[in-house]
């Protein structure tokens, strides 16, 4: 379609994409009027508190609810014999319904992990429910749980990506690294607790959930509760984040729904912070052996990445640590394997950058060790091993600027001033360590439907059955639709978080933004085409053919007119006496190769590099992350303000991953994740956050969608931990291969102030 000069100019002036808009839902959030799941209250509301197992392995010997049942306000104590039936959903190969913990709650008397729910107390108030839950007497046949953190393979490893002969090439490589890296179990700690508010009207459920995937939740709950999907409506208007822990249903969701059905009253269940360490997933412990072989001038000749992760007794959660390894560097011989080791722990799940984030801690730490062995600068080593094709798929990339991330970052960070000698750099009496690591994350699209209504009152409504995990989906949609329509985003109402809306993508895998663009563009086109037809019978366009009319900047005008001379769309609607026109768009997940179901035509990933400075004070063993520069190649950035915020948040999380976070399963205390609170499980705070400089390269990836936008929820975390570990080595001479890096690890440093 030819575009006139004036239209092109106006398009450039009207640029909502790339605008640093504040969040459209910001005022609701700061004023406390955004309704999170547990903010929903209904007449006759009851409160449910689960009873959690105090052993990690064994069985229930007796469950005595008699005292609890007689307590004030108590409506019921549900357990295996009286809660009713749940259905177990078989794993389905097309991932159309995902449930990480497949065993429904209260399914049998066997205990497989600490905190497994054994009953649920329902009462008229939350304290009464808590008191009743505490009064349920459970006795167990306890067995010794297996929460061993050293992993040994229980099965043959699964071979992932493979090319050439990695073993033979390693054997003959002149320079080698062969090391094992460990990342601990990490617990998701979004500020908002998991919660369900369940309503049952005799036929249908309405479930208010803190969930990253309302559509999957609808299908999964329908299947497990044994009601048709159309009788389950899932609502999730605001999330206080989830980090992956809220992607799939957990057992508390079913306890709440079944309680509401059994009692015919609304039931609220809020999972406690302690229970969040037990029953709603975690990033599993990983143990990864990396073998790299290289020539003397630093060309990789062999890469082997063999990883294990723990999973629960019943579920095979595969972390997939080797996800990024096959395409990050050029290497003719490669082999990636993975394996699962079953332990008496809750079922693990995806956590921000699953697979790649722990995987890159291993791979990028090994690259740093290789650079030191070769006496080659670690930035230079990565430049020498850059690849312009994805050798795993033998496909070109949609858009890859990893090299530029390295060179731009090195320049901005001042990397050329780095003295590679350990402990050689000082500033203000502190020892400096500078480290670098590469980052990558998938760039994909999921199926997405969206509807745009243009209304006669001049407003626009955009509806999509996705949800805003908290990072800006409402804002992003207002911007994308605003750009597509040439209408100010302030006039656009965005409606999300209801499974009754057109099916939208889950908020996971950094895929929402990229998935939305094609759907919104098509919806905008369909709605505005209807307007064009409508305008052919309205003044001043009567008698014009629709082909001769254009919609741009919110107005209908003739092709030979500029938009400014056209008629605002709401006037067309008003004169036609029509309240609104609607268009629905659909985008398909062309890049769903992450499930390995379709053969992609191109390889699509985001890239980045983390440059990190630490300061080390050997006199008092004090380590700080003092400076971070992150260069991100993630396509066109729709909103640099929320985008920078995403990356900064991820970097702060990465500091926690490198230095603080680990979930400790204590075999001396019944296999409990014993540091199950925010005092003992340390996450980064503002005080730990250094100056973080975020640079977006901003190359539109137009293979992914017309605006060239990718998601950026996870890429900022990738590479942080290995860059910190590299910086710590540079400062102290100590290579820490097991996260988190602790002060105890560094005491042996011989670097002196
Ligand atoms: Mo994320 S782990 O894709 O929610």
The DSSP secondary structure of 637-699, one letter per residue, reads: -S-HHHHHHHHHHHHHHHHHHHHT----EEGGGTTEE---STTTS----GGG--EEEEEE---
Number of the ligand 1 atom closest to the C-alpha atom of 353: 2
Rounded to the nearest angstrom, the distance between the alpha carbon of 673 and the centre of ligand 1 is 22
User: Is residue 3 pLDDT above 60, yes or no?
Assistant: no
| Residue predicted with more confidence, 294 or 598 | 294
Distance between CA atoms of residues 590 and 178, nearest Å: 38
Q: What is the pLDDT of residue 426?
A: 97
* Residue 596 to residues 94, 163, 238, 355, Cα–Cα distance (Å): 10, 17, 32, 15
Q: What is the pLDDT of residue 543?
A: 87
User: Is residue 8 pLDDT above 70, yes or no?
Assistant: no
Rounded to the nearest angstrom, the distance between the alpha carbon of 200 and the centre of ligand 1 is 30
**299 confidence band (pLDDT: 50, 70, 90):** very high
- Please count the other Cβ atoms lying within 10 Å of the Cβ belonging to residue 13: 8
pLDDT tens column, 17-49: 999 999 999 999 999 999 999 999 999 999 999
The region of weakest confidence among 1-15, 223-237, 504-518 is 1-15
In this prediction, residues 371-382 reach a mean pLDDT of 98
**178 confidence band (pLDDT: 50, 70, 90):** very high
User: Is residue 724 pLDDT above 70, yes or no?
Assistant: yes
> Beta 622-633 vs 691-696: how paired, if at all?
parallel
In this prediction, residues 735-744 reach a mean pLDDT of 97
Q: Does residue 567 sit in helix, strand or coil? A: strand
In this prediction, residues 254-267 reach a mean pLDDT of 98
Are the C-beta atoms of 608 and 632 separated by less than 8 Å? Answer: yes
Structure tokens at 571: 């006037």
**700 confidence band (pLDDT: 50, 70, 90):** very high
Indicate the helix (H) or strand (E) that contains 138: strand 137-142
**232 confidence band (pLDDT: 50, 70, 90):** very high
Q: What is the pLDDT of residue 14?
A: 55
The one catalytic residue among 209, 369, 522, 714: 714
pLDDT tens column, 159-177: 999 999 999 999 999 999 9
User: Is residue 462 pLDDT above 90, yes or no?
Assistant: yes
Q: What is the mean pLDDT of the chain?
A: 95
pLDDT tens column, 182-214: 999 999 999 999 999 999 999 999 999 999 999
As a dihedral over the C-alpha atoms of residue 18, residue 20, residue 21, residue 27, rounded to 10 degrees, the angle is 150
Distance of CA 227 to the CA centre of its chain: 29
Q: What is the pLDDT of residue 5?
A: 37
Residue located via tokens 């390995």 = 596
Q: HSE (CB half, 13 Å, CA atoms) of 385?
A: 31
- Please count the other Cβ atoms lying within 10 Å of the Cβ belonging to residue 428: 6
Closest CA to 593 of 753, 393, 303: 393
Q: What is the pLDDT of residue 1?
A: 32
- Please count the other Cβ atoms lying within 10 Å of the Cβ belonging to residue 577: 7
**The length of the chain, given as a count of residues:** 753
**12 confidence band (pLDDT: 50, 70, 90):** very low
Rounded to the nearest angstrom, the distance between the alpha carbon of 58 and the centre of ligand 1 is 32
In this prediction, residues 701-708 reach a mean pLDDT of 93
User: Is residue 587 pLDDT above 60, yes or no?
Assistant: yes
Are the C-beta atoms of 186 and 657 separated by less than 8 Å? Answer: yes
Q: What is the pLDDT of residue 592?
A: 47
Q: What is the pLDDT of residue 492?
A: 97
pTM of the model: 0.96
**597 confidence band (pLDDT: 50, 70, 90):** low
Most ligand 1 atoms within 8 A of CB, residue of 508, 646, 712, 715 to mutate: 508
**596 confidence band (pLDDT: 50, 70, 90):** low
In this prediction, residues 263-270 reach a mean pLDDT of 98
- Please count the other Cβ atoms lying within 10 Å of the Cβ belonging to residue 364: 31
* Residue 679 to residues 633, 664, 683, Cα–Cα distance (Å): 36, 13, 9
pLDDT tens column, 105-116: 999 999 999 999
pLDDT tens column, 633-658: 999 999 999 999 999 999 999 999 99
Q: What is the pLDDT of residue 80?
A: 98
Q: What is the pLDDT of residue 6?
A: 38
Distance between CA atoms of residues 23 and 468, nearest Å: 11
Most ligand 1 atoms within 8 A of CB, residue of 210, 244, 349, 650 to mutate: 244
Going 250 to 252 to 255 to 259, the CA torsion angle's sign is negative
Number of the ligand 1 atom closest to the C-alpha atom of 469: 4
| Residue predicted with more confidence, 91 or 322 | 322
Closest CA to 475 of 14, 10, 28, 12: 28
Q: What is the pLDDT of residue 273?
A: 98
User: Is residue 13 pLDDT above 60, yes or no?
Assistant: no
Q: What is the pLDDT of residue 601?
A: 81
User: Is residue 594 pLDDT above 90, yes or no?
Assistant: no
Most ligand 1 atoms within 8 A of CB, residue of 98, 247, 513, 712 to mutate: 247
- In the chain, count H helices and then E strands: 18, 31
User: Is residue 237 pLDDT above 50, yes or no?
Assistant: yes
Number of the ligand 1 atom closest to the C-alpha atom of 350: 2
Residue located via tokens 């060239």 = 708
Distance between CA atoms of residues 444 and 231, nearest Å: 31
Could you confirm whether 186 is annotated as catalytic? no
User: Is residue 600 pLDDT above 90, yes or no?
Assistant: no
Number of the ligand 1 atom closest to the C-alpha atom of 247: 4
Q: What residues have CB less than 8 Å from 48, skipping those under 6 apart?
A: 120, 121, 122, 129, 255, 256, 259, 267, 268, 269
Distance between CA atoms of residues 129 and 600, nearest Å: 52
Instruction: Write out residues with Cβ below 6 Å of ligand 1.
Output: 212, 242, 244, 247, 350-352, 354, 508-509
Q: What is the pLDDT of residue 83?
A: 98
Largest Cα–Cα distance of the chain, in whole Å? 87
Are the C-beta atoms of 710 and 218 separated by less than 8 Å? Answer: no
């Amino acid at each position: 379609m030819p575009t006139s000069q004036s239209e092109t100019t106006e398009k450039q002036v009207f640029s909502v994409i790339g605008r640093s808009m504040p969040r459209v839902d910001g005022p609701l959030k700061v004023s406390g009027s955004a309704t999170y799941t547990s903010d929903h209250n209904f007449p006759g509301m009851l409160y449910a508190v689960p009873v959690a197992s105090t052993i990690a392995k064994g069985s229930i010997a007796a469950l005595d609810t008699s005292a609890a049942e007689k307590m004030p306000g108590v409506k019921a104590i549900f357990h295996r014999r009286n809660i009713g039936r749940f259905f177990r959903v078989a794993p389905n190969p097309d991932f159309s319904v995902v449930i990480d913990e497949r065993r429904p709650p209260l399914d049998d008397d066997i205990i497989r992990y600490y905190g497994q729910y054994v009953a649920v107390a329902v009462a008229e108030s939350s304290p009464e429910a808590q008191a009743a839950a505490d009064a349920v007497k459970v006795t167990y046949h306890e067995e010794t749980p297996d929460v061993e953190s050293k992993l040994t393979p229980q099965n043959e490893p699964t071979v992932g990506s493979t090319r050439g002969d990695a073993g033979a090439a390693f054997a003959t490589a002149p320079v080698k690294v062969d090391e094992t890296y460990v990342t601990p179990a990490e617990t998701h700690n979004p500020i908002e607790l998991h919660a369900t508010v369940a309503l049952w009207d005799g036929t249908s459920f309405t479930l208010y959930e803190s969930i990253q995937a309302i559509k999957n939740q609808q299908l999964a709950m329908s299947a497990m509760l044994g009601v048709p999907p159309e009788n389950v409506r899932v609502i999730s208007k605001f999330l206080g984040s989830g980090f992956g822990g809220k992607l799939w249903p957990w057992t508390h969701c079913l306890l709440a729904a079944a309680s509401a059905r059994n009692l015919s009253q609304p039931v609220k269940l809020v999972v406690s912070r302690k229970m969040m360490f037990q029953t709603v997933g975690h990033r599993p412990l990983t143990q990864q052996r990396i073998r790299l072989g290289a020539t003397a001038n630093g060309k990789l000749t062999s890469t082997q990445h063999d990883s294990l992760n723990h999973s629960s007794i019943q579920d095979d959660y595969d972390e997939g640590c080797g996800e990024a390894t096959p395409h990050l560097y050029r290497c003719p011989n490669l082999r990636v394997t993975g394996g699962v080791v079953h332990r008496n722990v809750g079922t693990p799940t995806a956590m921000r950058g699953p697979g790649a984030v722990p995987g890159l801690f291993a791979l990028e730490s090994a690259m740093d060790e290789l650079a030191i062995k070769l006496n080659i600068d670690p930035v230079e080593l990565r430049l020498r091993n850059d690849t312009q094709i994805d050798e795993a798929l033998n496909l070109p990339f949609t858009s890859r600027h990893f090299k530029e991330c390295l060179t731009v970052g090195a320049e901005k960070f001042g990397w050329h001033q780095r003295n590679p000698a350990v402990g050689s750099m000082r500033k203000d009496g502190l020892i400096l360590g500078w480290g670098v690591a590469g980052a990558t994350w998938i760039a994909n699209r999921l199926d997405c439907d969206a509807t745009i209504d243009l209304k006669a009152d001049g407003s626009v409504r955009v509806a999509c059955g996705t949800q805003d995990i908290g990072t800006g989906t409402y804002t992003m949609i207002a911007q994308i639709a605003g750009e597509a329509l040439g209408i100010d985003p302030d006039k656009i109402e965005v409606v999300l978080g209801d499974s009754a809306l057109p099916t939208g993508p889950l908020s996971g895998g950094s895929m929402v933004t990229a998935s939305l663009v094609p759907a919104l563009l098509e919806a905008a086109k369909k709605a505005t085409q209807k307007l064009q037809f409508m305008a052919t019978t309205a003044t001043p366009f009567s008698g014009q053919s629709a082909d001769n009319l254009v919609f741009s900047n919110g107005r209908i005008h003739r092709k030979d007119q500029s938009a400014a001379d056209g008629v605002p769309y709401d006037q067309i609607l008003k004169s036609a006496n029509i309240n609104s026109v609607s268009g629905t768009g659909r985008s398909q997940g062309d890049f769903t190769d992450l499930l390995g179901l379709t053969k992609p035509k191109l390889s699509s990933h985001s890239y980045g590099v983390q440059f990190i400075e630490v300061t080390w004070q050997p006199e008092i063993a004090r380590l700080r992350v003092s400076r971070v520069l992150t260069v991100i190649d993630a396509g066109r950035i729709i909103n640099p303000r929320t985008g920078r915020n995403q990356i900064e948040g991820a970097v702060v999380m990465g500091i926690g991953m490198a230095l603080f976070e680990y979930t400790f399963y204590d075999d001396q205390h019944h296999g409990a994740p014993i540091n199950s609170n925010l005092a003992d499980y340390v996450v980064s705070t503002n005080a730990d956050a250094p100056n973080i400089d975020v640079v977006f390269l901003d190359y539109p990836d137009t293979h992914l969608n017309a605006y060239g936008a990718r998601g950026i929820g996870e890429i900022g975390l990738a590479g942080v931990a290995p860059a910190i570990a590299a910086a710590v080595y540079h400062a102290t001479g100590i290579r820490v291969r097991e996260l988190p890096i602790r002060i105890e690890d560094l005491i042996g440093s011989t670097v002196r102030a």
